[in-house]
Chain A
């Protein structure tokens, strides 16, 4: 999976640079997040700006990351959701679980407050 990772201090920014987040590559995202948690990181921003399609396993990977972050007193926030990707979060009521920001900078700023 094409993933760009930048430690921004207050949080780590993960930009998913794939058109699809599905059962083929969601395991990679999950593993990468686990690696960050094992390194002691607990605040993540996942930037989905490039992603135009998410399936149930993609949602599952993000939920897994969210639960891991929460259990470490951190948070996983989302940024840059395309319209139809956002609809997926609404359909599954996950928009009530995640903090969703328009773009990555806004999400990162929310960790600095």
Chain B
């Protein structure tokens, strides 16, 4: 079986206007995959959502909304394993605090819960210059 090997490396300004671009890349990857037996429309929405949430998170919580900073995103697929890494250059945040479902009437804090629901693994680790949020999904 021929499997997909894809590596995408993107750097965009730390601004929400680039969320659409990043989300659409996720959607297009889902539509391009050679071997995917599941619901492709759902995967397209899910990857759009995960990338949008992960990047919005980096902008708002880790890069402190500084528009001069950058968000660095890597997407790779090897052997049906999709890995998304979002690098930020800030102080970081406590992932564990947010992975549980919120009360329905809370206005904030659903992003990590949604990412956690869609993906199989989620970790947040320090790097030399900030942090990396790593999200893994087995396709």
Contacts and interface: CB of A to CB of B under 8 A. Distances in A.
Contacts of B59: 23
A41 interface: no
B105 A84 contact: no
B76 to A, nearest CB: 23
Interface string B2-38: 0000000000000011011001000000000000000
Interface of A is mostly: helix
Contacts of A91: 114, 117
A31 interface: no
B16 A23 contact: yes
B48 interface: yes
A96 B103 CA distance: 12
Interface residues of A, number: 24
Assign chain B's interface to a size class.
20 to 34
A24 B42 contact: no
Query: Which 4 A-B pairs have CB atoms at the shortest separation, nearest pair first?
Result: A56-B110, A24-B16, A23-B56, A56-B111
A93 interface: yes
Nearest to A30: B107
A59 interface: yes
B52 A22 contact: yes
A78 to B, nearest CB: 14
A11 B112 CA distance: 34
12 contacts: A20-B23, A22-B20, A23-B60, A53-B48, A53-B49, A56-B56, A56-B109, A56-B114, A57-B56, A92-B110, A93-B101, A94-B104
Contact of B20 (A24, A57, A88, A92): A24
